[in-house]
Structure 1
Amino acid sequence: MVSRRTVLGALGATGLAVTGVAAALNGNAPGGEALRHVLGVAGPVPAGKRPVVRVDRVYSRYRRREVDLLTILPPGLPTGTVPMSVLLHGLHGSARYAAVGGMSEALVAAVGRRSVPPYGFVAVDGGDNYWHENSPGDDPMAMLLEEVPRWLAERSYGPVVACTGVSMGGFGALVYARRRAERRDPLKAVAAVSPGLLLNWPDMAKRRVFANQEEWASVDPLKHVDDLGPTPVGVWVGDHDRFIQGTREFIAAAKPAVASVTPGGHDDVFYRKIVPDVIRFLGKRVTAKPTG
């Protein structure tokens, strides 16, 4: 079941010149505002520097509902040759708002300068379940593992070789990396930005996303550091982030390839400072030979 809505690169951020743009990207916000968020900019984008953004509405058997499938590519590229990074949104987020901190714009700029090889992002609606099956029959992790590769292949996109996530999505990105390693299909890179890592059950229980402490322990990346396999991990967090203590413990235990703790909080101001580094981290690894 696929009801297709497509948004392509010839879009201006100051007007909805292409029929269907508002339907594809407006959500609860005005169409122009939502489009600018996906593009990662506050104003008009010059032709040739706009990411190619596409939104399809697809049915997820593992979530038992329709979800948005959003892809972001640099302009002027054949889709089938471009490796992809899953992009996981945070709590109360969605695919349309997963690209925080000007991520789309930073990707286009880095590829345009040839400082990184071309790659793209794919985002889906994962709900608020910390990217696991919190409610029976609603399994966003299975959607990522089983359905996203098929949806991309049907649209002639390249394979998923990396994962990027912010906040709850950072938690999910580390879980996804573990699941890929368990399948003997490790990612080439995982980037966790302000990952939602908590140190005690009472704090996590307030989020009502795990049935009990045992279920949380079975998923929590802090308790499964050794299960990430050979995947290079990058972690970025602000020193005033509410998840700073859990992230510091993860850094100490995992010894990631990049461990960046810099001034900032859990907000877009901080994300805009570190997103260029995230783009470079991924770009250096997406075309590397598999390590496992």
Structure 2
Amino acid sequence: MLSGSITSAARRGKQCGWSIAWPPGGSGPAERAELPVVVVLHGRGNDHASAFSRRYLALDRFLASVVAGGTAPFALASIDGGETYWHARDDGEDAGAMVVDEFLPLLAGHGLRTDRIGFLGWSMGGFGALHLARTLGPERVAAVGAMSPALWHHFKDTAPGAYDDAEDFADVDLMGRQDDLAGIAVRIDCGRGDPFLAASRDFVHGFEARPAGGFQRGDHDRGYWRRMAPAQLTFLGSALEAPANVSA
């Protein structure tokens, strides 16, 4: 694990912590060089450390387990995105641009492959992962995994502060835009007791080919996300290992 911070221009000068977790098997630069990376986007009320905290998701431990079980090795990396739902806002803050324009170059500077990446997120970060995957497209994104993505049908139903206004919501709404994820491996999981279940089901049903994942017993909480983590990481690792296919 390596951690640090940056002053993000895209987030209007905010100090943003970040962490990178490599799987076991080599601690030197040579062993870690050229590994693919999955960028992990946190939920509302969380920060980059939530992905790796032993009291929260502990994704680095799940990464070690799936790699030991035969999944091709890759790294996980997370950064503080605030609570602006990972997209450009009227006040000039843009956590999504921070990921693309500031965090990915930082990861490349640590020897990770950033030409073809994966995204993983939960809740607000699940929306963010799908949004950024759609924005970058299959030329850059191999796979995206979303756990309990924060999706709504209408602006009036959204959480306070998630969007600037109805126009902002319409600009980045994912419903009806599933074709924008064509060529990207997609996995979506949502608990049957989750408030986002109905919207998540409708989003999944809008794909021409049903994404991986499903709707399992569980709520909108870390217990459910930890149960889904091994399957999500295995899915992402397999997709990163597969040859690129942007014609789908």
Please confirm whether the aligned pair reaches a TM-score higher than 0.5, indicating the same fold. Answer: yes
Counterpart residue number, 1:66: 15
Distance 1:84 1:208 in 2: 30
Distance 2:88 2:45 in 1: 16
Match of 2:24 among 71, 75, 96: 75
How many residue pairs end up in the alignment?
236
Distance 2:32 2:214 in 1: 32
Report the 3-state secondary structure (helix = DSSP H, G, I; strand = E; otherwise coil) of the residue aligned with 2:113. coil
Match of 1:202 among 143, 156, 172: 156
Deviations 1:218-252 (A, max 9, x none): 10112421212310100011000010011000110
Alignment of 1:250 with 2:198, yes or no, is no
Report the 3-state secondary structure (helix = DSSP H, G, I; strand = E; otherwise coil) of the residue aligned with 2:2. strand
Report the 3-state secondary structure (helix = DSSP H, G, I; strand = E; otherwise coil) of the residue aligned with 2:117. strand
Structure 1 residues 146 and 185, CA, compared in 2 at 3 Å: closer, same or farther?
A: farther
Counterpart residue number, 1:105: 61
Which TM-score applies when normalising by structure 1?
Answer: 0.77
Alignment of 1:153 with 2:108, yes or no, is yes
Distance 2:133 2:97 in 1: 13
Match of 2:134 among 178, 202, 205: 178
Shift of 1:272: 2.2
Aligned residues with identical type, % of pairs: 28
Unaligned 5+ runs, structure 1:
1-52
Distance 2:162 2:176 in 1: 17
Q: Which has the higher contact order (CA 8 A, sep 6+)?
A: 2
The residue type paired with residue 190 of structure 2 is V
Distance 1:143 1:88 in 2: 12
The residue type paired with residue 272 of structure 1 is R
Bigger Rg, which one: 1
CA contact (8 A) 1:166 1:195 kept: yes
Report the 3-state secondary structure (helix = DSSP H, G, I; strand = E; otherwise coil) of the residue aligned with 2:228. helix
Report the 3-state secondary structure (helix = DSSP H, G, I; strand = E; otherwise coil) of the residue aligned with 1:132. coil
Report the 3-state secondary structure (helix = DSSP H, G, I; strand = E; otherwise coil) of the residue aligned with 2:125. helix
The residue type paired with residue 281 of structure 1 is F
Distance 1:165 1:207 in 2: 20
Shift of 1:135: 4.4
Match of 1:95 among 43, 48, 51: 48
The residue type paired with residue 225 of structure 1 is Q
Alignment of 1:289 with 2:243, yes or no, is yes
Counterpart residue number, 2:190: 237
CA contact (8 A) 1:67 1:125 kept: yes
Shift of 1:278: 0.7
Shift of 1:137: 2.4
Match of 1:217 among 157, 164, 170: 170
Distance 1:102 1:65 in 2: 25
